[in-house]
Amino acid sequence: MAYEYDGVKQLDTEEVMEIFKTKPKNVVLLDVREPHEYNAGHIPGIQLLPTSEFIERYEQELDPEKEYVVVCRSGNRSHMVCKFLQEQGFKKCANYAQGMLDWPGPFETANLPPTGGQRW
């Protein structure tokens, strides 16, 4: 059940699974893990924007009018990204609190090259 922590809406696995299944047009699933983590397994169709490149790329790739559900391995990096986005004026951002550690599937794999940016 959704709750708020540190000013950020937190979603559980059941809620994120519902978003994945229904694919609302105004909601974007956003993976902020690094490419090697994403390559190992990610939610099908999720957008990747690694934390190591986030600051440099978010303005070009994200729309402040959309709602983002941010995903990482355990919910920590995604929480920090939500806080950052809120500070930048993004009003609709939620954290997948349990992260990919709790995601039951389905999964896709990829073969992206590593990034050269700094990790958070």
- Residue-wise pLDDT for 42-70, tens only, equals 999 999 999 999 999 999 999 999 999 99
Quick one: average pLDDT of 25-42?
96
Q: Is residue 70 part of a domain?
A: yes
Q: Is residue 108 part of a domain?
A: no
Note the Cα 1 to chain centre separation in Å.
18
Contact 93, 9 (CB under 8 A): yes
Q: Is residue 120 part of a domain?
A: no
Domain count, the chain: 1
Residue 72 has pLDDT above 90, yes or no: yes
Active-site residue flag, 72: yes
Q: What CATH number is associated with residue 15?
A: 3.40.250.10
Report residue 111's pLDDT band, with 50, 70 and 90 as the boundaries: confident
Report residue 118's pLDDT band, with 50, 70 and 90 as the boundaries: low
What are residue 95's phi and psi, to 5 degrees?
-100, 135
- d(CA 105, CA 120) in angstroms, rounded, equals 26
Q: Is residue 56 part of a domain?
A: yes
Q: Is residue 82 part of a domain?
A: yes
- Helix, strand, coil % in the chain, rounded to nearest 5: 35, 20, 45
Q: Indicate which residue of 71, 72, 81, 85 is catalytic.
A: 72
Q: Is residue 109 part of a domain?
A: no
Q: Is residue 110 part of a domain?
A: no
Q: Is residue 115 part of a domain?
A: no
- d(CA 63, CA 103) in angstroms, rounded, equals 26
Show the tokens assigned to 99: 């992260």
Calculate the average pLDDT of the chain: 93
Contact 92, 9 (CB under 8 A): no
- Residue-wise pLDDT for 79-102, tens only, equals 999 999 999 999 999 999 999 999
Q: Is the pTM of this model over 0.75?
A: yes
Determine the structural domain holding residue 13 and report its residue range.
Answer: 3-101
